Each structure stands twice: as structure tokens, then as C-alpha cells.
Amino acid sequence: MRAHRPAPAWLIGGAATAVAAGYLVFGYLPGRRDTLELRRELSEAQGFVDQIDTLRMAMESTRNEWERAQTYVDERRSASSARGVTELLGEIHLLARSHGTTASRFDPQPTRQYAQIGRIPVLLTCAGTFAQIAAFLQELERLEHTVWIERLRMERSAKNTGDVQCELDLEIFVDNPVNSGQVKQSG
């Protein structure tokens, strides 16, 4: 009978190294690659989740801004239809006088009706100091109605008193109550 001889140490060491190398190449490295890919995907997903709060706040801010704009438009529409054109023209004339200017011409032209709005041209000539006219123009901008200044011409008064003569071509916009969305909304 032959005696069983133990395997040489180098053979056992080589086999162990081969098994370790096989595990490293076929088990650990592919698993490590998969683990790194899963971590990257998880990090991307976490980035999207982190953005949800930011997007929610941005959506809420946009919604609030839209509501404020809608409120502003509704107020403008109700103001322009609730008050007559005559009252508006009277208010402009009073504004001119209240700032110390003297209106020498206040000539509303016929209203031009468009699909949704009306456009009222007004020719206005007034005189006063530069500061008085500037204050009047600032108040004109603050009116509830949209007012465009199509033409503005200022000249020093011929009397050399320090006064200025101002000629304005105004365009005042009001809702067309027949076709505007306001009638449809309220009805």
C-alpha cells in the first residue's frame, strides 16, 4: 500500500491563489461594478427627490404670482366697466387742475371700439411749472385705467414766466362691455 503523501505547499498555495483570483475576477469585481452602478442610480434618484421640494415651492410661487396677476386684471376690468367714460375724463381734468396746471384744451375724440377694448383718444393742452406738469403726469400714470401718452410736447411759455406749456395726445383704454370676457364671466 502506498502511503498517502501530502500535497506540496506550493500546490495548495497556488490553488488557493487561483480560487482567490477566480473569486476576484468572476465574483467580487463584477459585483463591485454592479454595486457602484446601483449607488450611482440611487444618487440620481435622490437628486430628483431632493428637487421635488424646490419644484413644489417654485410651482406655489408661480401660482401665487398668477393669482395676483388675475386679481389685478379683474380689478382693472371691474374698474373700467363700473365707471363711465365721462367720469374718467372728469377725473383727468380734475387731476390737471389739482396739480396747479391750467388746461386750455381738453378734447376727447370719438371712442374706437375693438373686439375686447375701447380706445379713447384725448387731446390735452395745459400750462404750469415743470414740477406741476410732472406731478400731473405721475398721477395720470396711477389711474386705474391704462393710459398711453402717444405724444408729449413741452415748450417754455412765451411770457417768460417760468411756466411750461404741455401738449399731450393721450390714449385711454377701457373694456368693451359688449365683447369683453367680463360680461361672459359674470353672466
**Tens digits of per-residue pLDDT, 10-50?**
877 888 888 888 887 787 877 788 888 888 998 888 888 88
Q: Which residue has the cell 465574483?
A: 27
Q: Is the pLDDT confidence value at 65 over 90? A: yes
CA distance 153 to 124: 11
Task: Tell me what the mean pLDDT of segment 104-129 comes to.
Answer: 87
Q: If DSSP codes are grouped into helix, strand and coil, which group holds residue 131? A: helix
| pLDDT-wise least confident of 122-126, 143-147, 163-167 | 143-147
Provide the whole-model pTM.
0.49
Tell me: pLDDT of 180 over 70. no
Percent of the chain with pLDDT over 90: 22
Return the higher-pLDDT residue of 113 and 185. 113
> What does the domain layout of the chain look like in residue ranges?
8-82, 84-185
- DSSP lists the bridge partners of residue 106 as 124
Residue 81 has pLDDT above 60, yes or no: no
The answer to whether the CB of 181 falls within 8 A of the CB of 115 is no
| CATH fold for domain 84-185 | Alpha-Beta Plaits (3.30.70)
What pLDDT does 131 receive?
A: 92
